Structure 1
Amino acid sequence: MTLNKNQIKYLRKMSHTQKSLFQMGKNGLTPTFMGQIDSALERRELVKFNLLQNSDESLEEAAHAIASELDAVVVQTIGSTAILFRQSSQVKYQILSQKVKAL
């Protein structure tokens, strides 16, 4: 899925009020962490997570690895925070993606 500038701008605006749901630390990208992000993306479609200082991963690498693994899009990486978007497969959770498609 590719997003145009207006869609990315809208998603950044929507994520601004959200708090980070997850923190990635020294354990890195574990299957449990990936599963939690996957289930959160399925229900919320927009997920924000932080990279802690004790992590060996870089934020860019971690965000793109998660996005490619879970078929998501990296909306933004800033500081130690990354924002991911993926359209939900269930219609009842596709509230945000319907608005994004309209842009």
Structure 2
Amino acid sequence: MTLTRKQIVFLRGKSHPLSPVVSVGNAGLSDAVMAEIEIALTHHELIKIKLGVDDRDLRKKMCSEISTRTNSNVVQQIGKIAVFYRASDKSRITLP
């Protein structure tokens, strides 16, 4: 699902007060971390993830890989914090 600009702005506003629910360390995206991200996306739809690596390019690649493997959208990535959205069957967030 591709998000429109209006939907991205809406989701950014919704994500502002959220705290990161998953932290990715230097070990990278292990199967356990991906399982936690899947659970969080299923339960919350909109999540923040803290990427604990210093390399900018590696953080971008991680975001892309998370998005691909979880079938989610990257809403925003600023520094070491990334926001992901995936609609669930029990939709909690109604997009504009």
- Common fold by TM > 0.5: yes
- Mind listing any 5+ residue stretches in structure 1 that lack a counterpart? none
**Pick from 85, 92, 96: which aligns with 1:95?**
92
Is the CA contact (8 Å cut-off) linking 2:24 and 2:49 kept in structure 1? yes
Q: TM-score, normalised by structure 1?
A: 0.86
* Deviations 1:60-96 (CA, angstroms, capped at 9, x unpaired): 110110110110000011011111000113x2xx111
2:23 equivalent in structure 1: 23
Secondary structure of 2:20's aligned partner? coil
Could you say what the CA RMSD is over the residues aligned between the two structures, in angstroms?
1.7
Give how far 1:12 is off: 0.4
Runs ≥4 residues deviating over 3 A:
none
Q: TM-score, normalised by structure 2?
A: 0.92
For 1:26, the aligned partner's letter is N
Give the length in aligned residue pairs: 96
Give how far 1:54 is off: 6.2
The percentage of aligned residue pairs carrying the same residue is 31
Alignment of 1:61-100 (within 5 A): 61-89=61-89, 91=90, 94-96=91-93, 99-100=94-95
Secondary structure of 1:39's aligned partner? helix
Give how far 1:27 is off: 1.1
Secondary structure of 1:58's aligned partner? helix
* Separation in structure 1 between the aligned mates of residue 54 and residue 25 of structure 2, nearest angstrom: 6
* Separation in structure 2 between the aligned mates of residue 42 and residue 23 of structure 1, nearest angstrom: 17
Is the CA contact (8 Å cut-off) linking 2:22 and 2:50 kept in structure 1? yes
Secondary structure of 1:17's aligned partner? coil
Q: Does 1:11 align with 2:11?
A: yes
